[in-house]
């Protein structure tokens, strides 16, 4: 190893001018370029990984339920509600939306003579309007072979219902319906209705 001598405030020290790697002598200036090149490659790889992570994160939210329908878009209020603010990939997507798991899960699904009865319970303390129902009773009526009715009601207390006339549910379900219904509970409750002939989700 060859050295250049320098001094600072009367103290002598030596700076290496060459380094030896596997028996091959390399000028220090050239070694600096090797180090710079290696660090540049590492930085580019890190930047690529960050960009890839952000793109995957943005596109990982397939279903976005708007958490900000009642006021102008506001980042701080979105986070105060416990919601997620992520840039959208399509103009129709909301910027502020509920996280997975927000809403209700079912405690019991009971088959009835004309459909289903489902008891739902809230999964989070986060509230959007301040007076959300803690428990919900869902009645599913198979009214005709091509008509399905879902009625959500507060299980804890009776609430006002719009006084409109609706057909009374039949005593029994029609024998052959053109649809089928499934209930999901992960990450929160949902209803899946399909056409029997095409398996198309409605």
Point out the residues of the chain with pLDDT beneath 70: 1-34, 48-62, 89-90, 127-130
Q: Which fold has domain 104-160+168-195?
A: Immunoglobulin-like (2.60.40)
Per-residue burial over 109-125, b if 16 or more Cβ lie within 10 Å, else e, is eeeeebbbebebebeee
Distance CA 163, CA 96 (A): 34
The pLDDT value recorded for residue 58 is: 47
Range 63-99: architecture per CATH: Irregular (4.10)
The pLDDT value recorded for residue 112 is: 93
Beta strand residue intervals within the chain, DSSP E: 3-8, 11-16, 18-21, 24-27, 84-85, 96-97, 104-112, 115-122, 135-144, 147-154, 179-184, 190-195
The pLDDT value recorded for residue 24 is: 54
Residue tagged 């007076």 (tokens): 131
Domain ranges of the chain: 20-60, 63-99, 104-160+168-195
pLDDT digits (tens, 9 = 90+) for 108-143: 899 999 999 999 998 877 766 667 788 999 999 999
């Amino acid at each position: 190893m060859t050295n250049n001598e320098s001094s600072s405030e009367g103290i002598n020290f030596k700076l290496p001018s060459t380094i030896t790697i596997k028996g091959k002598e390399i000028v220090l200036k050239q070694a600096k370029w090797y180090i710079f090149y290696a660090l540049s490659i590492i930085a580019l790889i890190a930047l690529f990984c960050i960009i890839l992570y952000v793109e995957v994160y943005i596109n990982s939210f397939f279903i976005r339920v708007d958490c900000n329908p009642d006021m102008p878009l506001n980042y701080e209020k979105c986070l105060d509600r416990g919601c997620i603010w992520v840039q959208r990939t399509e103009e129709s997507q909301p910027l502020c939306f509920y996280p997975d798991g927000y809403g209700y899960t079912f405690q019991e699904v009971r088959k009835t003579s004309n459909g289903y009865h489902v008891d739902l319970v809230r999964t989070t303390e986060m509230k959007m309007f301040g007076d959300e129902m803690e428990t919900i009773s869902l009645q599913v009526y198979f009214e005709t072979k091509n008509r399905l009715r879902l009625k959500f009601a507060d299980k804890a207390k009776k609430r006002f219902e719009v006084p409109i006339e609706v057909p009374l549910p039949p005593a029994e379900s029609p024998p052959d319906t053109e649809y089928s219904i499934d209930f999901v509970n992960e990450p929160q409750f949902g209803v899946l209705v399909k056409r029997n002939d095409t398996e198309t989700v409605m």
